Structure formats: C-alpha cells, structure tokens
Amino acid sequence: MARQTVVVLLVAVMVALIVGVDILVFRHHFWARLLANIGIVLIFAACYLRFVKGT
C-alpha cells in the first residue's frame, strides 16, 4: 500500500512540474518544451527505479 502511495505522489508531482514548466518557461517553444518534458520524465523514471523499485 505504501508503494502505491509513493507512485501516485511521484506521478502527481511529475505532472505538476511538467505543466508548470510548460506554462511558465516554454510556452511558445515547441522543441524546447518537448525536450524538457522528456528530460523531466526520464529524471522521475530514474528516481522511481532507484528509490521505489529498488526497495
């Protein structure tokens, strides 16, 4: 149960961060926004694999 809660929190924070970065920084820059979103997802995936899945 605790693992599911952590995963839900990680996904919620990731979505909030992606939307915030899109709106505040990269509103009119499609390719920069796409690369930043991919980078954010990769960082969250690495944190999930390292800290949540590894335990």
pLDDT value at residue 34? 93
For residue 54, pLDDT over 80 is answered with: no
pLDDT tens digits for range 3-42? 889 889 989 999 999 999 989 998 899 999 999 999 999 9
Domain boundaries, the chain: 2-52
Q: How confident is the model at residue 55 (pLDDT cuts 50, 70, 90)?
A: low
Letter for the amino acid at 47?
Answer: C
- The amino acid at residue 9 is L
Its pTM stands at 0.82
What is the per-residue pLDDT for 52?
A: 82
Where does residue 29 fall: left (phi above 0), alpha (psi -120 to 50 degrees), or beta otherwise? beta
**pLDDT of residue 49 exceeding 80:** yes
